[in-house]
Amino acid sequence: MTPERSMRITGTTRCYPILGHPIAQVRTVPAINAYFAAQEIDAVMVPMEIPPGGIEALLALMRSWSNCGGASVTVPHKQAAFRACDRLTDRARLVGAVNIIRREPDGSLVGDMTDGLAFVEAMGRNGIAVSGRTLLVAGAAGGAGSAIAQALCGAGAARLCLVDPSRERLGLLAGRLAADFPGCRIDEGWPDDARVDVAVNASPVGMRRDDPLPIDLDRLSPGAAVCDVITKPVMTPLLVEAARRGHPIQDGNEMADVQLPFQMRHLGLWADEALAPEGDPT
Ligand code: NAD
């Protein structure tokens, strides 16, 4: 980066906190600040470690924080941030969580959830097809899983099999997806009559060394793709075993690395467009 393009914080700089607990592990801060510098956007992203009990007060403060343009939101605040928003995209409403908030000039907060978009974008970059195929999402009732399930339906999946021990939340999600995407067959659980073409782990199972595999690899089609959203470790036991068996794989960093354009678009800071936020949230 040239000196002219390095980040310079002055009194005119707009602030974008990233809210999490813990926060030290986040990978997006350098990438977003490098994007601001490269695009000559007078803005800075700063990590803010906010314990769960403090998030409502911080989000309330954002309404009167005039040089704040919005916030990125990570674990465990995505649901509390959803509740604090004044307006939401349909994506965020289905999932019940937000990972990016735009602050409007009047102080109102507009939330979006980009996990599903980023996941499908990473699949495209890896050449993993969605259209017309049977896909399975483990952890589908969670924040990332619901967003991914919705995005896979939107990308033309023929059949989506949803797996999660939380049966009640899973049933609600299945009902909403079936209503929104009548062209996609929605099943709860593994299919008895078909092989799975793409299996996705969107649960946290695999973060701990002694976790079981969240997906039964014996039930996949030969050559089925296996994807994980976990970023620590990047090579989860599921991906290690899938790769050993010769399955194409996609790791959590590949999804995390493509979140930036979607989040910048929601903030109205994506350089490749007319700086207009996508959609018309209500
Ligand atoms: P969450 O708690 O909202 O959801 C997790 C879901 O997994 C829950 O519904 C839970 O019931 C389910 N689950 C638990 N055990 C299961 C099992 N054995 N089989 C199937 N489902 C099971 O969590 P979240 O916010 O959705 O995060 C999940 C994971 O996704 C975390 O590891 C997080 O770090 C990761 N994540 C990655 C990215 C990325 O960009 N790579 C983005 C968001 C989240």
Domain boundaries, the chain: 14-113, 116-256
Active site residues: 78
The answer to whether the beta carbons of residues 267 and 281 sit under 8 Å apart is no
pLDDT at 111: 98
Rg, C-alpha atoms of the chain: 19
Q: Tell me the pLDDT tens digit for each residue of 74-91.
A: 989 999 999 999 999 999
Query: Is pLDDT at 276 greater than 80 in this prediction?
Result: no
CB-count exposure of residue 137 (10 Å: 0-12, 13-18, 19+) = buried
Atom of ligand 1 nearest to the CA of 163: 20
Q: How confident is the model at residue 280 (pLDDT cuts 50, 70, 90)?
A: very low
Superfamily of domain 14-113: Leucine Dehydrogenase, chain A, domain 1 (3.40.50.10860)
Superfamily of domain 116-256: NAD(P)-binding Rossmann-like Domain (3.40.50.720)
Q: Is 21 left (phi over 0), alpha (psi -120 to 50) or beta?
A: beta
Q: What is the mean pLDDT of residues 17-22?
A: 96
DSSP assignment letter at 5 = G
Q: What is the mean pLDDT of residues 258-281?
A: 77
Q: What is the mean pLDDT of residues 171-197?
A: 96
Mean pLDDT over all residues of the chain?
93
Mutate to test the pocket of ligand 1, among 229, 235, 259 (most ligand atoms within 8 A of CB): 229
Residue predicted with more confidence, 25 or 253:
253
pTM of structure: 0.91
**Atom 4 in ligand 1: which residue has the minimum CA distance?**
142
Q: Tell me the pLDDT tens digit for each residue of 163-175.
A: 999 999 999 999 9
